[in-house]
Amino acid sequence: MSKRKQMKSIEASEWWVKLRDEDCTDREREMFVDWLRAAPENVSEYLALANVWQDLGEVVPNTEINEILAELSNDNVVPYPNLSEVADRPKASPKQWRQSWFAIAATVALFTVATLLVLQQSGNTLETAVGEQRTVVLEDGSVLTLNTRTRLQYEISTLSRNVVLIEGEALFDVARDINRPFIVTVGPTTVRVLGTSFNIYKTSDSESTITVLEGLVVVNPQSNTELLLRSAGDLLAETGDIKLTVGEQLHISSEETIVPKSAVSTDKTIEWTSRRLSFENTVLKDVIFEFNRYNVKQLQVEDAELAMLRLNGVFEPNGHETLLDYLRKTENVHIRDIGNRRVISR
Amino acid sequence: MAEESPSIEDIIDRRYEDLLRFVRYRIRDTAEARDIAQEAFLRLLRRNREELIDRPEAYLFRIAANLAYEHRLRNRRQVSDGAKWIDEATDDSRSPETRVEDQERLKRVDEAFSKLPPLPRAALLLQRRDGLTYDEIAEQLGTTKHMVKKHLTRAMAQCRAALLEDDE
């Protein structure tokens, strides 16, 4: 099947699924009609799904849910050959342990260097502008959704699948492939999976947040080449692999070496995919940081007390008006436009 | 408040089967009927918004009837128009070729469905057979609504792909 055709049928399937969601909005329905009207091909793809749906009605009654669920429990164990070996070796003597760490560190370092070099030369770059979002299907069937102002490079080969998240935020739905690990490098951190779904938000050069939506993800927060070579012994002893599963989040920043993982709402983490920003008891300063990711015109708070004001609410990220209206009504603020900035003050 | 007229997506969801049956009764060939049903939808979508909003279902069936009629003229096939189209309980007026084609389709969809990974397969089963909502499916499968949607998208796209191979 041609790639284009494949994209079309995924697009149609996305609409098919979206329209059957109880939370589907009127706006989404309108967008669906626009999509249908955009090309006859879209209509035929969508109707093809209606046909499949009809056929499925005759097919599925022959299936037992319990059988599938049984398969599922067998399938749930995801082997991570190299990494689990590393993690399960705490009983080795300190010396051996140190040597093996060094060997692993050196291998990883070489590998990372090689990966980065390869990516720089031949990697494909995906980018989004301010306020833009984009979904891309890679050759291996993995689906990447890029949030606003995001840049990444990827390289899919017969041996491995590599992505470098240079800036921004992306949702990874990785197609399962036991023979080709999927590795995301974000700053000093590598995230390694075989097939699963997770979100990475790189807030700054040294900070990122990884949230797992499905399956198991292995994170090495310090697999920076320089760090690995310099401190293969002691530092790595404290900062080995961290395993994350569904609903777990890891926040990595340069100030901390070991960051405890926490449980989070996954729906909230990926709310951005439906172009919504929601805040619960969030200080205005942070709210503005989020808004500024999506807009060319940057908001700024002048009043320190105002910056710490706590907000609740759901907003559309593009454009400031809903937020500013809210502030005008509740806090009696002034808004001045200065060049490319909008300054909020009392 | 006046009853809202159905939207396009409602029509596709609820009336597509009826439309297909309606056309198939007239021309007795499933593959052709699908083409005609599709053409009817395309023509419906080409109308402007106002026309779309005003009784789109009636319009859709009228276009389909006209298309089926033209098709019959072209093929000079004699099909009785007297019976009611909606009652198809006893209808097996499909030609032998059509019946074989339909069987082949079902076989392919069945295969594609069986080959799906467990989660997409379970999600689709719970949706199609048991009519569960996404939240209910997520609860049953111990995953999130977002993932249920991903699984279903994948499941539908893969079942669809199984039919594509000789389509082109």
Question: Do both A24 and A98 map to the same domain?
Answer: no
Question: Do both A94 and A170 map to the same domain?
Answer: yes
Give the CB-side neighbour count of residue A98, counting CA atoms within 13 A. 7
Judging contacts by C-beta atoms under 8 Å, the chain A residues touching residue B8 are 32-33, 36
Let me know if residue A206 belongs to a domain: yes
Q: Answer for the pair A134, A168: CB distance below 8 angstroms, yes or no.
A: no
Phi and psi at residue A151, to the nearest 5°: -140, 130
pLDDT score at B123: 93
pLDDT score at A187: 84
- What is the complex's ipTM, to 2 decimals? 0.74
Question: Do both A32 and A88 map to the same domain?
Answer: no
Mark which of A210, A234, A268 sits at the end of a domain.
Answer: A268
DSSP line for A121-189: HH-EEEE--TT--EEEE-TTS-EEEE-SS-EEEEEE-SS-EEEEEEEEEEEEEPPP-TTS-EEEEETTE
Question: Do both A284 and A210 map to the same domain?
Answer: no
Let me know if residue A282 belongs to a domain: yes
A12: domain range?
A: 3-63
The two structure tokens encoding residue A48: 């093809």
Question: Do both A153 and A98 map to the same domain?
Answer: yes
If you search the block for the tokens 């990785």, which residue do you land on?
Answer: A174
pLDDT score at B49: 61
Q: Which residues of A149-175 are buried (b: 16+ CB within 10 A; e: fewer)?
A: bbbbbbbbeeebbbbbbbebbbbbbbb
Mark which of A28, A63, A98 sits at the end of a domain.
Answer: A63
3-state secondary structure A303-337: CHHHHCCEEEEEECCCCCHHHHHHHHHHHCCEEEE
Q: How far is B129 from chain A, CA to nearest CA, in Å?
A: 7
Q: What angle do CA A299, A304, A308 make, to 5 degrees?
A: 80
Question: Do both A38 and A107 map to the same domain?
Answer: no
Question: Do both A324 and A262 map to the same domain?
Answer: no
Question: Do both A161 and A193 map to the same domain?
Answer: yes
Question: Do both A108 and A178 map to the same domain?
Answer: yes
Q: How far is B82 from chain A, CA to nearest CA, in Å?
A: 27
Tens-place pLDDT, residues A128-169: 888 888 888 888 888 888 998 899 999 888 888 899 999 999
Question: Do both A130 and A37 map to the same domain?
Answer: no
Distance of CA A75 to the CA centre of its chain: 24
Partner A contacted by B65 (CB < 8 A): no
Judging contacts by C-beta atoms under 8 Å, the chain B residues touching residue A36 are 8, 45
- Tell me, what amino acid is at B37? A
Q: Identify which of A13, A33, A53 has the shortest CB distance to residue B153.
A: A13
Whole-number Å distance between alpha carbons of A60 and B127? 10
Q: How far is A345 from chain B, CA to nearest CA, in Å?
A: 39
Least Cα distance to B62 among B10, B11, B23 occurs for B23
Q: How far is A9 from chain B, CA to nearest CA, in Å?
A: 6
Question: Do both A29 and A168 map to the same domain?
Answer: no
Residue A292, domain CATH? 3.55.50.30
- Say yes or no for a CB contact (<8 Å) between A60 and B113: yes
- Say yes or no for a CB contact (<8 Å) between B113 and A18: no
Which of A13, A137, A245 is the best mutation test for B, with the most CBs of B within 10 A?
A: A13
Phi and psi at residue A192, to the nearest 5°: -125, 125
The two structure tokens encoding residue B109: 């969809």
User: Is B95-168 a domain of CATH 1.10.10.10?
Assistant: yes
Query: Nearest chain B Cα to A41, which residue?
Result: B42
Strands A189-193 and A143-146: unpaired
Interface list for A 184-213 with B (CB within 8 A):
197, 213
> Domain count of chain A?
3
pLDDT per residue of chain B (168 residues) written in tens, 0 to 9: 344 566 777 777 777 878 888 888 788 787 888 888 888 888 887 776 655 656 677 778 888 888 888 888 777 644 444 444 434 434 455 667 777 777 888 889 999 999 888 889 999 999 988 888 999 999 888 888 888 998 999 899 999 988 876 544
Q: How far is CA A121 from CA A110, A124, A126, A155, in A?
A: 16, 9, 15, 10
A298-301 β-sheet, strand order: A298-301, A341-345, A334-338
* Residues near A275 by beta carbon (within 8 Å), at least 6 away in sequence: A133, A316, A317, A318
Whole-number Å distance between alpha carbons of B44 and A118? 51
The two structure tokens encoding residue B156: 């539908």
Q: How far is A233 from chain B, CA to nearest CA, in Å?
A: 39
SS3 A24: coil
Q: Where in chain B is the domain with CATH 1.10.10.10?
A: 95-168
Question: Do both A88 and A203 map to the same domain?
Answer: yes
If you search the block for the tokens 């995001």, which residue do you land on?
Answer: A150
What's the length of chain A? 346
What's the length of chain B? 168
If you search the block for the tokens 């967008």, which residue do you land on?
Answer: A31
Residue A261, domain CATH? 2.60.120.1440
Which of A9, A23, A274 is the best mutation test for B, with the most CBs of B within 10 A?
A: A9
Mark which of A217, A239, A268 sits at the end of a domain.
Answer: A268
pLDDT per residue of chain A (346 residues) written in tens, 0 to 9: 566 777 888 889 999 999 888 888 888 888 888 888 888 788 888 888 888 888 888 888 777 777 777 776 554 433 322 322 333 333 333 444 444 545 555 555 555 555 544 444 457 888 888 888 888 888 888 888 899 889 999 988 888 889 999 999 999 988 888 778 888 988 878 888 877 889 999 888 778 888 988 888 888 776 544 333 333 333 333 346 778 888 888 888 765 554 567 778 877 888 888 778 888 888 999 899 988 988 888 999 988 888 898 988 888 887 788 888 888 888 888 888 888 889 998 8
Q: Answer for the pair B5, B56: CB distance below 8 angstroms, yes or no.
A: yes
